[in-house]
């Protein structure tokens, strides 16, 4: 099967590639086209073989929705369908010739194309705008310390959890995970002592009385601070222990 090497709808007079189809009617194994060149306004007849449809269908699909007056390609502006000589209607027979009516986006003129219902199904998708594919938002991967696997940020020079050096103190180059020396300047990789963060004063969530970390009940109001059954630290405002489900004793103040 010989493949088409050029646009079969090219205007034979002026060579314009953007010809406009005004009529497309299948006849047996052939497709008979009447084209009009938007540039020189010359009409010509082209006959294509359905056996080679994959070679010319893209040309025909685009040319069918090209305005024969200004050459603009129209998408999503079909005004309606009509039987030849009758009013707008649905297509009951796919073999009958129909008029496709649209108003050109560029020149605003109403244009009419003729084809059959069965061939319309072939080219109708060319008259729709392609939807843009949604762009997937890439979620940045969480950085972790190569030694302790705790989360770190790009700005961290030292892991806040284990103290391993992440950025060379001498040259500022990122350190290769697991290395003992900087691959850029040769400086030894250090591990620093991490001072524990200071914990602020703990208070009772019920009466705001200062309490100790290991205290189970508030001395002032009796609020249960740690589960007296399993020892789990209780969440503020909770009614039951999240670990064992034991009911929490609420604090009460004598007024």
Q: What is the DSSP string of 33-77?
A: EEEE-TTT--EEEEEEEGGGHHHHHHHHHHHHTB-TTT--B--S-
Cα 44 from Cα 65, distance rounded (Å) = 17
Instruction: Check if the beta carbon of residue 123 is closer than 8 Å to that of residue 157.
Output: no
DSSP 164: B
| Residues 102 and 181 placed together within one structural domain of the fold | no
- Domain residues for the domain of 190 are 142-195
Is 159 a member of any domain?
Answer: yes
Q: Which pLDDT score, from 0 to 100, does residue 3 have?
A: 44
Is 163 a member of any domain?
Answer: yes
Q: Which pLDDT score, from 0 to 100, does residue 156 have?
A: 86
Q: Which pLDDT score, from 0 to 100, does residue 234 have?
A: 85
| Residues 113 and 146 placed together within one structural domain of the fold | no
Instruction: Check if the beta carbon of residue 127 is closer than 8 Å to that of residue 119.
Output: no
Is 14 a member of any domain?
Answer: no
Is 75 a member of any domain?
Answer: yes
Q: What end-to-end distance do the CA atoms of the chain give, in Å?
A: 100
The domain total for the chain is 3
* Of the residues 172, 195, 218, the one at which a domain ends: 195
Is 50 a member of any domain?
Answer: yes
Q: How many CB atoms lie within 10 A of CB 91?
A: 16
| Residues 216 and 253 placed together within one structural domain of the fold | yes
pLDDT in tens, the chain (255 residues): 344 557 899 999 998 988 999 999 999 999 999 999 999 999 999 999 999 999 999 999 999 999 999 999 988 877 665 554 443 344 444 456 778 888 888 999 988 899 988 898 889 888 887 665 666 656 566 788 888 888 888 888 888 888 888 888 888 888 888 788 888 888 888 887 766 555 557 888 888 899 888 899 999 899 999 999 988 888 888 888 878 889 999 888 764
| Residues 184 and 210 placed together within one structural domain of the fold | no
| Residues 34 and 119 placed together within one structural domain of the fold | yes
Is 180 a member of any domain?
Answer: yes
| Residues 191 and 209 placed together within one structural domain of the fold | no
Task: Determine whether 80 is exposed, middle or buried from the number of CB atoms within 10 Å of its CB (0-12, 13-18, 19+).
Answer: exposed
* Of the residues 96, 127, 158, the one at which a domain ends: 127
Q: How far is CA 215 from CA 94, 124, 235, 237, 248, in A?
A: 85, 77, 14, 17, 14
| Residues 150 and 183 placed together within one structural domain of the fold | yes
| Residues 107 and 152 placed together within one structural domain of the fold | no
Name the nearest CA neighbour of 63 among 16, 9, 25, 4. Answer: 9
Name the nearest CA neighbour of 25 among 60, 71, 65. Answer: 60
| Residues 189 and 222 placed together within one structural domain of the fold | no
* Of the residues 127, 158, 183, the one at which a domain ends: 127
104: region left, alpha or beta (phi > 0 left; psi from -120 to 50 alpha): beta
Is 94 a member of any domain?
Answer: yes
Is 243 a member of any domain?
Answer: yes
Q: How far is CA 85 from CA 26, 35, 80, 185, 220, in A?
A: 20, 22, 14, 87, 96
Cα 28 from Cα 49, distance rounded (Å) = 9
| Residues 26 and 85 placed together within one structural domain of the fold | yes
| Residues 42 and 71 placed together within one structural domain of the fold | yes
| Residues 43 and 123 placed together within one structural domain of the fold | yes
């Amino acid at each position: 099967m010989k493949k088409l090497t050029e646009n079969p709808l090219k205007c034979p007079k002026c060579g314009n590639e953007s010809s406009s189809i005004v009529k497309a009617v299948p006849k047996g194994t052939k497709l008979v086209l009447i084209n009009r060149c938007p540039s020189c306004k010359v009409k010509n007849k082209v006959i294509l073989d359905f056996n080679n449809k994959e070679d010319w269908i893209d040309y025909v699909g685009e040319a069918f929705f090209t305005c024969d007056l200004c050459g603009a390609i129209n998408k999503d502006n079909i005004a309606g369908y009509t039987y030849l000589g009758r009013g707008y209607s649905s297509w009951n027979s796919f073999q009958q010739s129909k008029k496709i009516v649209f108003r050109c986006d560029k020149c605003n003129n109403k244009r009419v194309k003729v084809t059959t219902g069965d061939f319309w199904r072939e080219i109708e998708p060319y008259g729709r705008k392609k939807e843009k594919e949604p762009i997937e938002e890439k979620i940045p991967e969480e950085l972790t310390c190569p030694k302790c696997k705790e989360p770190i940020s790009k700005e961290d020079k030292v892991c806040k959890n284990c103290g391993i050096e992440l950025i060379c103190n001498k040259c500022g180059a990122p350190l290769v995970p697991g290395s003992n020396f900087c691959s850029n300047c040769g400086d030894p990789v250090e591990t620093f002592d991490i001072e524990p963060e200071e914990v602020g004063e703990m208070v009772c969530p019920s009466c705001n009385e200062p309490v100790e970390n290991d205290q189970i009940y508030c001395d002032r109001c009796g609020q249960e601070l740690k589960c007296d059954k399993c020892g789990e630290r209780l969440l503020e405002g909770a009614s039951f222990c999240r670990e064992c489900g034991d009911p929490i004793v609420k604090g009460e103040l004598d007024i």
